């Protein structure tokens, strides 16, 4: 998993509330178990017409936001089904951080497991970040995980909370497998002692 330390990038405003996982990645794209290739279908029904043409008004189709790395979203982002394909699609598109007033629990947990930082902020702060994101590609937002701050393009800085264990995992690029491998020496030692104590096992 890619490490997350400090990210400075384009933030896209998406003020819709209750964006569910089917809106993030529609069910017809869930046949794959590959984490790559889903970015082109992120927000598919909002990005494209039925014949596959881009909908120009959709924020991620606008020139200023085609390289978005940070999403400023409305309340209750990631609700609906528990599909892990939703953070896969966001990450494959290039989005490494989502900021909202609230997230659905399963989606929130899945983000951390896939290298995405979901940040919960009060509504008044999200409003400031949303307004800053509307300035376009020249307005770069900085998300600093070590210091736990989000800084707007004009220098306003806001603190955020994050669970210390999840912060450790993101800073070190550790998913569940990576966490297990941190204990590899202890596991090997246990296996060797077990082989001595129970050679028949």
Which domains does the chain show, CATH number per domain? Answer: 6-197 (3.20.19.10)
* pLDDT > 60? residue 184: no
* pLDDT > 60? residue 166: yes
Q: How confident is the model at residue 191 (pLDDT cuts 50, 70, 90)?
A: low
pLDDT at 62: 96
pTM of the model: 0.88
* pLDDT > 70? residue 5: yes
Q: What is the pLDDT of residues 16-40, one digit of tens each?
A: 999 999 999 998 888 777 778 899 9
DSSP letters spanning the chain: ----SEEEEEEEEE--S--BHHHHS-GGGTT---SSS-GGGTTHHHHB-TTS-B-TTSGGGSGGGTT--EEEE-SSBTBSS--THHHHHHHHHT--EEEES-B-HHHHHHHHHTT-EEEE--HHHHHHHHHHHTT-TT-EEEEETTTTEEE-TTS-EEE----HHHHHHHHHT--HHHHHHTTHHHHHHHHHHHHHH-TT-
Q: What is the pLDDT of residues 75-89, one digit of tens each?
A: 999 999 888 999 999
pLDDT at 199: 72
Between 104 and 188, the more confident residue is: 104
């Amino acid at each position: 998993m890619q490490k997350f330390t400090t990210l400075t990038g384009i933030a896209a405003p998406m003020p819709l509330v209750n964006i569910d996982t089917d809106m993030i990645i529609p069910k017809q794209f869930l046949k794959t178990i590959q984490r790559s290739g889903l970015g082109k279908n992120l927000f598919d029904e909002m990005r494209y017409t039925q014949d596959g043409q881009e909908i120009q008004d959709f924020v991620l189709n606008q020139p200023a936001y085609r390289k978005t790395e940070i999403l400023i979203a409305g309340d209750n982002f990631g609700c609906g089904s528990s599909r892990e394909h939703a953070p896969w699609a966001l990450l494959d598109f290039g989005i490494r951080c989502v900021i909202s007033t609230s997230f659905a629990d399963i989606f929130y947990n899945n983000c951390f497991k896939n290298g995405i930082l979901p940040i919960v902020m009060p509504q008044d702060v999200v409003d400031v970040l949303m307004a800053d994101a509307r300035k376009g590609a020249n307005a770069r937002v900085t998300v600093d995980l070590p210091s736990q701050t989000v800084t707007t393009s004009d220098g306003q800085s806001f603190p955020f909370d994050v669970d210390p264990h999840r912060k450790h995992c993101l800073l070190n690029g550790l998913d569940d497998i990576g966490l297990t491998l941190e204990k590899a020496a202890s596991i090997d030692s246990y296996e060797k002692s077990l082989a001595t104590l129970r050679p028949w096992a």
